[in-house]
Structure 1
Amino acid sequence: MSEEIKVHPIKSFKDYGLAKRNSEELTKKISSLQLDLELDDEETPKLESRIVEIEQKLEEQKNFINGFINAQANYDSKFLGSNLDYLLKMHGLRISDLEELLGVSAGYVSRTVNPDSKKRLSVDIVWKISAIFQVNVDDLLNIDFQIPTQSLCDVIAFFKKLKQETDEATIHWNNQGNKEEDHVGIFFRELEEGGLDGTKRYKYAPDGNANETKAVGLMDDIFSAETSIGQLYLLPLEDQFGEKGYELYRYTGREDYNQNYYDSNDPDLELICSTFDDKSNKLKGKCDELFKSVKLHESDFVISESAKSLIDRYLNPKKNNASDGFMNIPDGIDEELPFN
């Protein structure tokens, strides 16, 4: 039975990406079948029929693509130029580097995104730019990356408070090490194929969901802390381009933490935030500050709250006696009181 040939309608830039990839796949299938046609005379009628069928679908897909391009010819590009400048600076690139990556002539992008230009970059080029920088096309066109959203402001405030509590020793972070094998089942999965020397290999996949993160591996030690909202895990990571970032998780699993436990239907982690998702790159700076504070206070002497209270009562007996809610009467005075 022949594989069903699909055609993707396009209603958004996300659909456009799917349609482009589908068009490329259909083109490859046609080339492959044409090669088979040259090698197998007996299957000629069947192969020719299949090629015609795929060519029709490819034409249909191209019509969808061209229709979307024409419909988006006058897209709003007011944020595109500033967002492009921001992304280039964030990744340490020049616009000429981007033009080279896109395979366009020198000066094409810089001239077209110029505020005084009446032209627009083609939809295909905009889509390729979003793929290069791994950002959503709609965000690239409609959101000013340099203005933080309220959600981002809240997360930044959250990290500021974590750092403050770390500096004040209100919370203490425990070093969990950076050995991937120690966190199999919770942050890493063991790969079936080992290294060439027979060593085990691991893949970063928090709760087994490797596709939901841009990170690929650890950059430093994992730290955990018990807080008022539960146990947190701070992971310094890197993405496929070697860019450093962080992910913060809250552990929601069982109390008897089992590092070899893995069940994708029963997640043990809740992702609070990932700096890899922050296009403004403002969150990473706050995470850097927190991680430096965590490392700085790693060797601090730590005692429990109950121990602190006992020590305080011992060192400051008068203060504690005065605040216990009872009248403190010096020895001998009670004999002179009128109600005795």
Structure 2
Amino acid sequence: MSRQFDEYMSDKFELNGTMYQMVEPDSFDELMKAFEIRDVIQTGISQLMHDEDDSAWQTLLQEQEDYIQGYIDRIGDFNNGCLVKNITYLLKKYSLRMGDLERLLGISAGYISRTVKENSSKKLSIDVVWKIAELFEISVQKLIEDDLSDLSGNIGMLVDFMDKLKEQTECVEIEWDNLGGVKSETDERFDQMGLFSTTEDGRIRYAAPGRNSKMIFLLADDVISTYGVDEYKQMIIIPFYSEKSSDVHYDFMFAWPKKDDMYGFEKIFYSYDEPFGTLDGHAKRLYEEAKEHFFDVPVANDMRKFIAGYLGKGGDA
């Protein structure tokens, strides 16, 4: 491990032979990355010998904490009522009391109950919100933005489905292909399926299945696909919008080859069917994560494990 802080430049530092960069978040996803960098710095501190000077590490830690706090201050107006409602719902769901939650999180008795009042101007620290989300195995974003009591039935199931796909994508457990559309040539199978056509002004019109044929829907981005859900069927995600609205929706469908180079397809679900936009938000996060990994350098899982082991990261590379 290198601890030569004289060599680090600007907001970069080295640990266990890997270069890291401090993160000044301006989005929720970057906030999550900022927390990861903070954890890396804390790992560096914990690996020091008891008589080694940790002042350089502590400076890095404070700078990263300041970046995190700066973002938290900017987003400090999150819906406290939504968070309170969700905590109340989770406690009732698992037959817990507020005191039980505080003990499970290892925080002082009464802290949450004093802070999470719907009309209170106080906010829980993001660290505590993070711990609550981890305890109940949900995302921080879902905890502070979604009404969990309404995520029941099919909506709740589909949210969990997309969130799991996003997690699998982050861990590179599933891979995605770009089938073209707006930014690259559309895959020829879509011509056979009759889903797309080109408008006079060069945009890609989408014949959304089950929609009013008189409405004009347009592709918002390229179509992406994966075999990570079903071994024999290709799951495709189609981002689209109405000519009358710029709001992007997502169709999830299965496609599979038939005889004579023909393809069949069937609906899994359409986020457009959910009137309050809950599914669109989760679909967008999944789509953006898939796009990011699509443009990443592909590495086979066994090779990833080898490289991760060499770098001393176990299976977390």
Assess same fold via TM > 0.5: no
Q: TM-score scaled by structure 2?
A: 0.41
Name which one, 1 or 2, has greater alpha-carbon Rg: 1
Using the size of structure 1 for normalisation, the TM-score is 0.38
